[in-house]
């Protein structure tokens, strides 16, 4: 199969990782792809330390480091830019006001990805002291090491309607009929959306229960509402046409993994599956993380066993921390942190004292259009990232994975070196007001 055929066959959905590299080889572009995904150690960016100063001078200094439009600064940084209530008419009910959260920035975080490629300044909305400082520390270590490689492996958002029958025979007859009706089901579902595409249809039978798992690509939207509406239309077509009538049916019967950590995370994908890796020299580990590779690997090994013994799904330290802060800042559905914060962190020390570190997150549920992403401050945060609007969702997912890697590096180094408690005591219990003498 040539590259043109591959591209035509993938018009409405992301190419798989294998197809992406296959196309690059077929087009003679594999060297260009390798270059894009190679760590970039060019010393053209200032790596900064985090601080807790909240003086006007300190805030102004941070903004001067960001290549953000003045309007973006105005929306995020000025209280007078508080959005009017009308902005929220499609985002909330029983509106009574707004809650203000402080927003910190982490960066530059260097990412060399299949969709995100550059130095990113990442906004985090949180009230947890030490989180931004910790992510900054990890981001500085990654950037100083040439950045992290991030690859989007696959994508898809599912709905799993359930159908109930009187007998097992009826359930199996229905399942066989649905399996042969993929074309009209696709037509019914896709008629409800400009961007959603039905990418696969799977069936699961348990006694008299049948789950029909619809999986979609959702363009640049996170897509929960999109796939619900599309699946409702498909189910209505089923009820109008099926030769075997169910006793009852539900548009979602809890097999999709929506907003929960589930064991199926590593067998499929929900949102986007992204893997990010970095190779950190011993000098960077010592200077930025005050730890060495062997100590970090030793701690990671014990924490991995702790995850297994506790029954956790995946092996990781605290994905939920950076994900929640980034999701809130950029208008994502914060409840999706429950499924997004599933994955695997891996650390390996190398003979030269360097550290190989990677994260794999199979359920990154983010979008750059729709939902809360269009609200003024959330849109401004996406603009600060350079990832607002159409064509940017896959890049945002790669930044999410890279940020998660930065956070894992920092917390594991802190725990391995015995600095974890000290950092939290210093930043969480310091004075409310910090005075700068600069």
Q: What is the percentage of the chain residues whose pLDDT exceeds 90?
A: 69
Catalytic site includes residue 115: no
- 349 falls within a domain: yes
What's the Rg (C-alpha) of the chain? 23
57 belongs to a structural domain: yes
Shared domain check, 320 and 386: yes
Same domain, 174 and 145: no
What is the reported pLDDT for 79?
A: 53
Beta carbons of 330 and 373 less than 8 angstroms apart:
yes
Catalytic (active site) residue 292: no
Same domain, 212 and 330: no
Tell me if 61 is assigned to some domain: yes
pLDDT (average), residues 153-171? 96
Residues 143 and 284 both lie in one domain? yes
With 50 as the cut, is the pLDDT of residue 9 above it? no
Beta bridge mates, 344: 315, 360
Q: Are residues 240 and 177 in the same domain?
A: yes
Q: Does residue 43 have a pLDDT over 70? A: no
What average pLDDT does this structure show over 299-319? 94
d(CA 296, CA 277): 16
Q: What is the mean pLDDT of residues 408-436?
A: 75
- 399 and 295 co-located in one domain: yes
pLDDT value at residue 428: 64
Q: Tell me the C-alpha to C-alpha distance, in Å, between residue 382 and each of 124, 199, 200, 433.
A: 11, 28, 31, 29
Show Cβ contacts of residue 105 under 8 Å, excluding neighbours closer than 6 positions.
62, 66, 121, 122, 123, 124, 132, 384
Range of the structural domain that residue 416 is part of: 44-154+273-428
Q: Is residue 3 part of a domain?
A: no
Q: How crowded is residue 390: how many other Cβ atoms within 10 Å of its Cβ?
A: 11
Rounded Cα distance between 50 and 271, Å, is 31
186 inside domain: yes
Q: Which of 65, 195, 419, 424 is catalytic?
A: 424
Q: Are residues 193 and 231 in the same domain?
A: yes
Claim to verify: residue 235 and residue 371 sit in the same structural domain: no
Q: SS3 for 208?
A: coil
pLDDT of residue 435: 38
- The domain that holds 246 is classified in CATH as 3.30.70.420
Kindly tell me if the per-residue pLDDT of 275 is higher than 80: yes
- Mean pLDDT on 273-295: 97
Structural domain contains residue 111:
yes
Cβ contacts of 294-302, under 8 Å, gap ≥ 24: 294/349, 295/416, 295/417, 296/347, 296/349, 296/355, 296/409, 296/412, 296/413, 296/416, 297/347, 297/348, 297/349, 297/355, 298/416, 299/412, 299/415, 299/416, 300/345, 300/346, 300/347, 300/412
- 207, 224, 255 - which closes a domain: 255
Kindly state whether residue 433 falls inside one of the protein's structural domains.
Answer: no
Residue 177: how many other CB atoms lie within 10 Å: 14
Query: How deeply is 173 buried, as exposed, middle or buried, from its count of CB atoms within 10 A (0-12, 13-18, 19+)?
Result: middle
Catalytic-role residue among 128, 252, 298, 348? 128
- Give the model's pLDDT for residue 436: 39
User: Within a domain: residue 260?
Assistant: no
78-104: b (≥16 Cβ within 10 Å) or e: eeeeeeeeeeeeeeeeeeeeeeeeebb
Between CA 337 and CA 343 the distance in angstroms is: 12
| Residue 287 among the catalytic residues | no
- 398 and 310 in a common domain: yes
pLDDT of amino acid 406: 98
224, 255, 286 — which closes off a domain? Answer: 255
240 in the same domain as 170:
yes
What's the Cα-to-Cα distance from 132 to each of 210, 215, 436, rounded to whole Å? 46, 35, 19
Average pLDDT over residues 352-373: 96
- On the question of pLDDT at 69 being above 80, the answer is no
The answer on pLDDT for 432 being more than 70 is no
Asked if pLDDT for residue 395 goes beyond 50, the answer is yes
pLDDT > 90? residue 41: no
Give the integer Cα–Cα distance in Å for 68 and 154: 31
pLDDT mean over 276-292 = 96
Per-residue pLDDT band at 235 (split at 50, 70, 90)? very high
Encode 239-272: b = buried (16+ Cβ within 10 Å), e = exposed.
eeebebebeebeebbebbbbbebbeebbebbbbb
Count the domains in the chain. Answer: 2
Which of 197, 222, 255 is the endpoint of a domain? 255
pLDDT at residue 73 tops 90: no
Q: Report whether pLDDT(220) > 50.
A: yes
Report the half-sphere exposure of 261 (CA within 13 A, side-chain side).
13
Residue 438 reports pLDDT greater than 50: no
pTM, full prediction: 0.85
Please give the average per-residue pLDDT across 261-286, as a whole number: 93
**pLDDT, tens only, 76-109:** 766 545 777 788 888 888 787 788 899 999 999 9
Dist CA 219 CA 2 (whole Å): 25
Please identify which of the residues 7, 19, 333, 348 carries the catalytic annotation.
333
Report DSSP letters for 375-405, one per residue: SHHHHHHHHHHT--STT-HHHHHHHHHHHHH
Q: Residue 400 sits in a domain of what CATH number?
A: 3.90.770.10
124/141 same-domain check? yes
Residues 125 and 235 in one domain: no
């Amino acid at each position: 199969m040539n590259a043109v055929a591959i591209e035509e066959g993938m018009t409405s959905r992301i190419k798989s990782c294998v197809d992406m590299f296959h196309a690059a080889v077929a087009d003679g572009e594999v060297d260009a792809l390798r270059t894009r995904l190679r760590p970039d150690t060019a010393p053209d960016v200032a790596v900064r330390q985090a601080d807790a100063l909240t003086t006007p001078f300190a805030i102004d200094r941070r903004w001067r480091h960001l290549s953000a439009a003045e309007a973006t600064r105005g929306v995020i940084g000025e209280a007078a830019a508080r959005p009017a209530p009308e902005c929220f008419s499609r985002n909330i009910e029983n509106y009574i006001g707004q809650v203000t959260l402080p927003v910190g920035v982490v960066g530059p975080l260097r990412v060399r990805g299949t969709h995100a490629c550059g130095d990113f300044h990442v906004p985090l909305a949180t009230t947890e002291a030490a989180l931004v400082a910790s992510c900054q520390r990890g981001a500085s270590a990654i950037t100083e090491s040439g950045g992290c490689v991030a690859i989007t492996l696959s994508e898809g958002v599912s709905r799993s309607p359930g159908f109930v029958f009187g007998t097992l025979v009826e359930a199996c007859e229905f399942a066989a009929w649905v399996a042969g009706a993929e074309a009209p089901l696709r037509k019914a579902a896709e008629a409800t959306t400009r961007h959603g595409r039905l990418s696969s249809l799977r069936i699961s039978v348990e006694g008299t229960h049948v789950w029909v798992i619809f999986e979609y690509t959702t363009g640049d939207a996170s897509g929960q509402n999109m796939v619900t509406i599309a699946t409702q239309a498909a189910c209505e077509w089923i009820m109008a046409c099926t030769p075997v009538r169910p006793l009852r049916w539900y548009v979602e019967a809890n097999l999709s993994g929506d907003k929960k950590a589930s064991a199926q995370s590593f067998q499929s994908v929900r949102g986007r599956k992204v893997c990010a890796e970095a190779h950190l020299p011993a000098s960077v580990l010592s200077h930025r993380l005050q730890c060495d590779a062997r100590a970090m690997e030793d701690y990671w090994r014990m924490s991995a066993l702790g995850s297994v013994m506790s029954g956790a799904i995946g092996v990781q330290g605290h994905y939920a921390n950076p994900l929640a802060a980034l999701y809130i800042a950029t208008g994502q559905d914060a409840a999706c942190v429950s499924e997004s914060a599933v994955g695997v962190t891996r650390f390996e020390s190398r003979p030269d004292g360097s550290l190989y570190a990677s994260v794999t997150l199979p359920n990154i549920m983010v979008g750059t259009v729709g939902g809360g992403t269009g609200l003024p401050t959330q849109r401004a945060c996406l603009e600060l990232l350079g990832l607002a609007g159409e064509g940017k969702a896959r890049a945002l997912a790669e930044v999410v994975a890279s940020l998660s890697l930065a956070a894992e590096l920092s917390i594991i180094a802190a725990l391995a070196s015995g600095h974890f408690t000290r950092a939290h005591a210093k930043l969480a219990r310091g004075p409310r007001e910090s005075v700068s003498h600069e």
